[in-house]
Amino acid sequence: MSDPNGDPNVWMEQISPTKVAIWREYISHLRYLSDEVWKGMKLFLTINGFVLILIFVTAGESSRLVAAVLSILGILLTLTARYILKRNRVYYLQMLMKKTLLEKELGFYDVKFAGTEVDLALPWRLGPQAIALIQENPDKWVEVQIRGPGTIVRWLFVIYEVLMGLYGLILVAVLVSVLSKM
């Protein structure tokens, strides 16, 4: 490794052990929050799958009420899942922001491996443009990144919205069926 300002060993000695401990805690929280997204997705998609199967298994003239109730339940369930995903995403982005700013302060972005442009910023790294945006307006950066382009979470939101649309279509079909019989 080489430090543009001198010996990397001097740089390492100057790092505060307390800040490194905080940085490790940030990394740990990022892992936890990342895992929670997938646990929540598995749980809510499984439950949604059962609700949809119940709706289609019980489809028929005599079970319109059951389909309507299950559709409303599905919408409420999916709204809850979206809310949890959004809250988790906000927590994740706030932690990522703190980790990134601490890495910047510790010099992880300034020290490079010898002969490369690879710096010491570790997993869940953000580029210099993102750091500038965070420093300019942290709340706005978090808000924009909740459904950030090119992220997996953006597609998770889309999955939930498609499910809500499907439940809505089922509910409308049931209502049309009931009204057409009147």
* pLDDT one-digit tens code per residue, 30-72: 899 989 999 999 999 999 999 999 998 987 767 888 999 999 9
Q: What is the pLDDT of residues 125-155, one digit of tens each?
A: 788 888 999 999 999 999 999 998 888 999 9
Angle between helices 152-181 and 64-106 (to 10 degrees): 160
For residue 6, what pLDDT is reported?
Answer: 44
Which sign does the torsion angle of CA 38, 43, 49, 51 carry? Answer: negative
Q: Which of 86, 80, 129 is nearest to 109 (CA)?
A: 129
Q: Which of 80, 83, 89, 66 is nearest to 152 (CA)?
A: 89
d(CA 50, CA 46): 6
For residue 93, what pLDDT is reported?
Answer: 94
For residue 105, what pLDDT is reported?
Answer: 87
Residues 155-163 have a mean pLDDT of 96
| Residue 167 near residue 71 (C-beta atoms within 8 A) | yes
pTM of the predicted protein model:
0.83
10: pLDDT strictly greater than 70: no
Asked which of 8-12, 17-21, 74-78, 139-143 is least confident by mean pLDDT, the reply is 8-12
